[in-house]
């Protein structure tokens, strides 16, 4: 919902209401969203309280994947769910579950994408897991510092009672990974602290040495094979945009809208994963303004469409990806050339299909399921890719 004119505008999203007066921006919290989140949390706790908790009460080995308490569809969240599912397959003697962050908001089921997981709240672990001998907790990188602060006294006592406790930081985005000094409190609970990497690019000895902890590549597995593809002629005149904030975004989007004035432009918001996949499959193009090697770039390639991105050294596996027709060297390069590349692809069906096929083949090599499963298996066997080199800590 929005109201716009030259002097005044009002924009409403889930968390904030933003007003603009004569170029001055003012935001307030969306109380309706806050109240709804509170009610949803209470309803979720009632559902969680009716779980059959026999599996927790009998568990001697437990693997917990922590996820934010706001139900949403994102590549990071979906990868956590797939990691939990595959861990359960690989560890028949362990109980593998997903839990929201300690003492925060919670939900019982994530309906934003297909999955069979029920979601626990962390206090259910502390109250029921009295037979635990071994516990592995996987924590998203951005929450590693807050994890210790979020624990109750009972949580702390419980964790310190575990004989074999491993805390693994899921480093899914190295730009969000906290500096070593900010995660040192984790060592109060265990000396067995590890990190797992979501991108080949920074699964390196250098990263291992910087954080001085065993480091291992987890990779990502999100099954897109069951979603429909659309023939070139049946696609719609739509360009999908990632929701990321980027200082170059407005300029590039305005140019696209000027050059494709009769096209639809859709920014991905509030979509379930099946609806998102349907959208990008029907659309000719998707443009990401985020990290580049993300779902807005990769998944169009898996579904018969073309995603555009700007190359960077942080997330792309190597510079060979920068040679692709749908990857630009910089945002300035994207601004200057994206519309001409799009028109070239639209005017040449064979080139469009070849570009998609080339992109798809690279994705399959990078995200091979057998490799994903083997990486996970080796992690649980404590056969890590990298171990710290003494004297290399920064």
Name the pLDDT band for 391 (thresholds 50, 70, 90).
Answer: low
- Per-residue model confidence (pLDDT) at position 3: 39
pTM confidence score: 0.73
CA dihedral 112, 116, 122, 127 (to 10 degrees): 150
Count other C-beta atoms under 10 Å from residue 253's C-beta: 17
- φ, ψ (nearest 5 deg) of residue 137: -115, 120
Q: What residue spans define the domains of the chain?
A: 2-29, 51-221+372-380, 232-366
Q: What is the dihedral of CA 392, 191, 172, 158, to 10 degrees?
A: -160
- For residue 284, what is the enclosing H or E element? strand 283-287
**Stretch 219-234: mean pLDDT, rounded?**
84
Which region, left, alpha or beta, applies to residue 328 given φ > 0 means left and ψ of -120 to 50 means alpha? beta
DSSP three-state, residue 234: helix
pLDDT bucket at 271, cuts 50 / 70 / 90? confident
Domain 51-221+372-380 annotated CATH 3.40.50: yes
CATH of domain 232-366: 3.40.50.2000
pLDDT in tens, 149-173: 999 999 999 999 999 999 999 998 8
- CB 155, CB 129: distance < 8 Å: no
pLDDT tens per residue, range 245-264: 899 999 999 999 999 999 99
Phi first, then psi: what are they for 164, rounded to 5°? -120, 95
Q: Which pLDDT does position 201 carry in this prediction?
A: 81
pLDDT mean over 70-93: 88
């Amino acid at each position: 919902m929005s109201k716009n004119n030259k002097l005044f505008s009002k924009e409403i999203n889930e968390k904030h209401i933003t007003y603009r007066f004569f170029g001055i921006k003012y935001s307030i919290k969306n109380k309706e969203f806050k109240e709804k989140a509170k009610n949803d949390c209470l309803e979720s706790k009632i559902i969680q309280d009716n779980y059959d908790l026999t599996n927790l009460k009998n568990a001697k080995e437990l693997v917990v994947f922590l996820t934010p308490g706001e139900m949403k569809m994102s590549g990071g969240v979906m990868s956590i769910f797939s990691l939990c599912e595959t861990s359960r397959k690989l560890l028949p003697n362990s109980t593998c579950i997903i839990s929201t962050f300690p003492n925060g908001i919670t939900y019982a089921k994530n309906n934003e994408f297909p999955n069979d997981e029920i979601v626990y709240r962390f206090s259910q672990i502390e109250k029921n897991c009295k037979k635990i001998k071994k516990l592995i907790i996987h924590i998203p990188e951005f929450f590693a510092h807050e994890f210790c602060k979020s624990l109750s006294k009972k949580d702390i006592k419980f964790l310190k009672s575990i004989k074999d406790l491993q805390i693994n930081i899921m480093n899914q985005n190295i730009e969000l990974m906290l500096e070593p000094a900010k995660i040192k409190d984790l060592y109060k609970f265990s000396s067995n602290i590890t990190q797992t990497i979501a991108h080949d690019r920074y699964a390196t000895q250098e990263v291992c040495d910087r954080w001085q902890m065993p480091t291992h590549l987890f990779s990502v597995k999100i099954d897109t094979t069951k979603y429909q593809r659309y023939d070139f002629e049946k696609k719609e005149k739509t360009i999908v945009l990632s929701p990321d904030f980027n200082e170059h975004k407005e300029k590039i989007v305005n140019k696209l809208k000027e050059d494709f004035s009769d096209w639809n432009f859709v920014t991905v918001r509030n979509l379930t994963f099946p609806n998102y996949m349907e959208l990008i499959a029907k659309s000719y193009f998707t443009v990401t303004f985020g990290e580049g090697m993300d779902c807005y770039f990769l998944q169009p390639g898996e579904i018969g469409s073309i995603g555009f991105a700007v190359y960077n050294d942080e997330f792309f596996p190597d510079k060979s990806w920068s040679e692709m027709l749908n990857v630009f060297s910089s945002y300035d390069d994207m601004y200057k050339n994206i519309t001409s590349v799009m028109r070239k692809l639209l005017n040449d069906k064979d080139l469009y299909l070849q570009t998609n096929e080339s992109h798809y083949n690279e994705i399959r090599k990078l995200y091979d399921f057998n490799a994903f499963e083997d990486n996970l298996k080796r992690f649980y066997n404590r056969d890590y890719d990298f171990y710290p080199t003494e004297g290399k800590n920064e």
